[in-house]
């Protein structure tokens, strides 16, 4: 590690002449959004800016996050490590009196760029301000030199994260006004081009929400265009690598918080110098690969501990599997792992005695979940749509993604797929050991109570606190029962 730090110090003292040729690195990180863009096949809306970026760059068709919730995804993103390997696998953990620290020697990516002489920033776009971090570990905020790259020195290369609210925009009070102002008119929820996945009911509330979600994509695409225009006007676009992706999938019943494709499959488009144009790559990549790839493009040695790979390296070997993990989300205790190969998805439900949709204050308050529960209780959901209301889950799930892209038919008990089941089961077991998956050991009650103390408080309001307290008690009761 010392040798690497010395290399960083040498790079930091380099001359402006050297700085000029080093590319700028821009990470565009969007919240709560799946790959529903034109270049990924979406027909109901137009996304010209990302589509053009894909035409001029490289689009990855099989990119996955290692965790389907913002804080765990971002903790992995900023270290190039699986969140399960650094103790950051529980959502919004370490926020109470008991803190979480990175394992010795692991350094956040911005600090590595900083050591190499880059200006580092984290922007809330389009209004310039402090960008979202949401890391589950303690870090020095000085790893960012500011909230915008405009404060860099003359000819100094920059590394910046541009944070866009994405799918969260529709949660704002003034969402409808924002749509009219920025997009002219909303997407028609009754458009025949608007397709709802078969595991959701073709219901008015669901369609309205999906249309609003598509409008967040339209707005995100417009903001991406503004960002590219700014880089162009500043005459730095030609020497800037742009990575565009989302922190996880759409915030819906089977999306955010779950390991189905809707939760972990994300868009990833890369544009800039030395990036092949109009290229589509189908190999499996993980979002932690962005860290290693970015460092390599900047000429910064990729630390040996980093689990992400340089997906643009000459000697790059594609992954056979992509791994993802889901652990506690807010008050809801969970332990799920998945392995995604080219054609199959394997999911291991370690707490399978619990309901599929465990109580969760955040998700249960969403109108789409409220509506789906109403329809379920009225007997208006078909068997496929009712699956998420199962009181227990199978220990294992296996899906043939070629013939079942919606992950509806579980093949784990089908002897025809016994070989694939064993192959994926072994891959997961090997990965858990090789990466030191810390989720194998349950979170301590002290850590859980410390974090829950941060969730409860007067700002939440009495009704929300009551729901959280009830859910916390349920989690502890199930734990006592060995569920």
Which region among 5-9, 251-255, 420-424, 443-447 has the lowest average model confidence (pLDDT)?
A: 5-9
Task: Pick 11 or 428 by higher pLDDT.
Answer: 428
Domain ranges of the chain: 2-321, 325-480
**Is the pLDDT at 96 greater than 90, yes or no?**
yes
**Is the pLDDT at 243 greater than 70, yes or no?**
yes
CATH fold, domain 2-321, is: Alkaline Phosphatase, subunit A (3.40.720)
The tens digit of pLDDT for each residue in 311-353 reads 999 999 999 999 999 999 999 999 999 999 999 999 999 999 9
Could you tell me if 128 and 94 are in contact, meaning their C-beta atoms sit under 8 angstroms apart? no
**Is the pLDDT at 474 greater than 70, yes or no?**
yes
**pLDDT the model gives residue 5:** 33
Alpha-carbon span 454 to 382, nearest angstrom: 39
**Is the pLDDT at 18 greater than 50, yes or no?**
no
What are the φ/ψ torsions at residue 251 (nearest 5 degrees)?
A: -85, 85
Q: How confident is the model at residue 127 (pLDDT cuts 50, 70, 90)?
A: confident
Spatial CB neighbours of 378, under 8 Å, sequence gap ≥ 6: none
The closest of 434, 401, 419 to 284, measured between CA atoms, is: 401
Name the pTM for this structure: 0.94
Query: Rounded to a whole number, what is the distance in angstroms from the first to the last CA of the chain?
Result: 42
Question: Average pLDDT, stretch 299-303?
Answer: 98
Question: Average pLDDT, stretch 239-257?
Answer: 98
The tens digit of pLDDT for each residue in 59-86 reads 999 999 999 999 999 999 999 999 999 9
Helices assigned H by DSSP within 412-461: 418-434, 445-455
């Amino acid at each position: 590690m010392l040798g690497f730090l010395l290399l960083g110090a040498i790079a930091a003292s380099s001359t402006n002449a050297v700085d000029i040729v080093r590319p700028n690195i821009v990470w565009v990180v969007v919240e709560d959004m799946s790959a529903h863009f034109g270049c990924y096949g979406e027909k109901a809306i137009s996304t010209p800016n990302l589509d053009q970026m894909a035409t001029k760059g490289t689009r990855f068709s099989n990119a996955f996050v290692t965790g389907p919730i913002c804080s765990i995804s971002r903790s992995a993103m900023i270290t190039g490590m699986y969140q399960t390997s650094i103790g950051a696998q529980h959502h919004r953990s370490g926020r109470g009196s008991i803190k979480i620290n990175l394992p010795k020697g692991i350094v956040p990516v911005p600090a590595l760029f900083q050591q190499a002489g880059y200006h580092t920033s984290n922007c809330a776009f389009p209004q310039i301000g402090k960008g979202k971090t949401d890391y589950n570990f303690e870090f020095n905020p000085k790893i960012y030199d500011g909230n915008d790259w405009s404060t860099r020195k003359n000819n100094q290369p920059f590394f910046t994260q541009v944070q866009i609210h994405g799918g969260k925009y529709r949660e704002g009070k003034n969402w409808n006004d924002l749509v009219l102002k920025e997009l002219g008119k909303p997407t028609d929820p009754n458009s025949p081009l608007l397709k709802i996945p078969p595991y959701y009911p073709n219901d008015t509330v669901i369609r309205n929400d999906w249309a609003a979600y598509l409008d967040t994509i339209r707005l995100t695409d417009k903001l991406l265009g503004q960002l590219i225009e700014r880089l162009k006007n500043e005459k730095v676009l030609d020497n800037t690598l742009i990575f565009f992706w989302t922190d996880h999938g759409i915030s819906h019943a089977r999306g955010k918080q779950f390991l189905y494709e809707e939760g972990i499959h994300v868009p990833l488009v890369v544009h800039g110098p030395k990036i092949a144009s109009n290229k589509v790559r189908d190999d499996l990549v993980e979002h932690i690969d962005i860290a290693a790839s970015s460092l390599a493009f900047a000429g910064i040695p990729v630390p040996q501990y980093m689990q992400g790979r340089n997906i643009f390296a000459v000697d790059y070997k594609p992954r056979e599997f992509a791994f993802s993990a889901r652990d506690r989300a807010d008050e809801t205790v969970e332990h799920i792992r998945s392995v995604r190969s080219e054609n199959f998805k394997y999911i291991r439900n370690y707490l399978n005695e619990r309901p599929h949709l465990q109580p969760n204050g955040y998700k249960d308050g969403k109108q789409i979940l409220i509506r789906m529960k109403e329809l379920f209780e009225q007997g208006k959901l078909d068997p496929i749509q009712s699956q998420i209301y199962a009181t227990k889950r199978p220990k294992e799930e296996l899906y043939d993604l070629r013939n079942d892209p919606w992950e509806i038919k579980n093949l784990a008990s089908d002897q025809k797929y016994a070989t694939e089941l064993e192959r994926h089961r072994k891959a997961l077991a090997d990965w858990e050991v090789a990466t030191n998956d810390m989720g194998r050991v349950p979170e301590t009650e002290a850590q859980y109570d410390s974090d829950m103390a941060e969730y409860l408080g007067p700002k939440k309001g009495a009704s929300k606190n009551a729901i959280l307290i009830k859910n916390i008690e349920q989690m502890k009761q199930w734990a006592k029962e060995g569920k």
